[in-house]
Amino acid sequence: MSIGFRILTRERAVPAALVARFAALPVAVVSDSMHRMSGGGPRLMRMHRSGGMAGPAVTVKARPGDNLMLHKAIDMAEPGDVIVVDGGGDLTNSLMGELMLAHAINRGVAGFVLNGAVRDADAIAEANLPLWAAGITHRGPYKDGPGEINVPVALDGMVIEPGDLIIGDGDGVLAVPYAAAEEVLEKAVAKQAAETRLMAQIGERSNDRSWIDDALRRLGCALPGA
């Protein structure tokens, strides 16, 4: 096996029923349910116009500025997959543009997360397939490799294993580990229900704000009249 230049088979993936339930939740709620300790980082910008994303990860580790393995990953992807590429954050050369995006749409790819650059930004926005990238450049990619498919990758400290759940919306992207997905979902559903109740209380002007002064007293803050 050639470390650094290899293609592996994905052995597992979060099931479609679980993906559908996560797709109905805000990324921020899921993130809070994971103690706010993971995220794709502020460099990843939404390149499509609107809409969210959820699906199991196909991971790619690419040489900066080279998209040979990304081409192969699109051909390997199953409908509903999200392709996650660690391109080293390099913005010198783009990793994909409108031609690759059109092929990915035909393949049923659910979205992309690229720690690298794209080009054809206007066409990407118009196609509106969920896509986050670190930047934009007109300079095209090389196609020489090396690279790896379906190996662990990391974006800004967020580790993604093949088959992990990837979700995204206007707040950014998040990976939910395969083994923890059901537990995280249970917590996120409960948190979303609590936030829905709180929003209703805010609308009724009945929400309890006493926790603020309680926290300030606990932390030793001097309050007026104390």
- DSSP states along 18-75: HHHHHHTS-HHHHHHTTTT-----TT-EE-SSS--EEEEEEEEEE-TTB-HHHHHHHH
Of 121, 130, 122, 5, the closest CA to residue 63 belongs to 5
100 is in an annotated binding site: yes
Helix, strand, coil percent content, the chain, rounded in steps of 5: 35, 25, 40
The average pLDDT across 121-135 equals 98
98 is in an annotated binding site: yes
119 is in an annotated binding site: yes
- What local confidence, expressed as pLDDT, does residue 1 receive? 61
- Could you tell me the CATH superfamily of domain 6-178? Ribonuclease E inhibitor RraA/RraA-like (3.50.30.40)
Length of the chain: 226
pTM more than 0.85: yes
User: Mean pLDDT score of the chain, rounded to an integer?
Assistant: 97
10 is in an annotated binding site: no
Residue-wise pLDDT for 147-175, tens only, equals 999 999 999 999 999 999 999 999 999 99
Q: With beta carbons less than 8 A apart as the criterion, state whether 177 and 56 touch.
A: no
Residue-wise pLDDT for 80-116, tens only, equals 999 999 999 999 999 999 999 999 999 999 999 999 9
- What local confidence, expressed as pLDDT, does residue 40 receive? 93
Residue-wise pLDDT for 183-204, tens only, equals 999 999 999 999 999 999 999 9
Residue-wise pLDDT for 134-149, tens only, equals 999 999 999 999 999 9
pLDDT confidence bin for 69, thresholds 50/70/90: very high
The average pLDDT across 8-35 equals 98
The full set of domain ranges for the chain reads 6-178
CA-to-CA separations, 39 to 36, 122, 139, 159, 192, in angstroms, rounded: 8, 26, 28, 9, 19
* Rounded Cα distance, 25 and 146, in Å: 37
* Rounded Cα distance, 133 and 85, in Å: 9
pLDDT confidence bin for 225, thresholds 50/70/90: confident
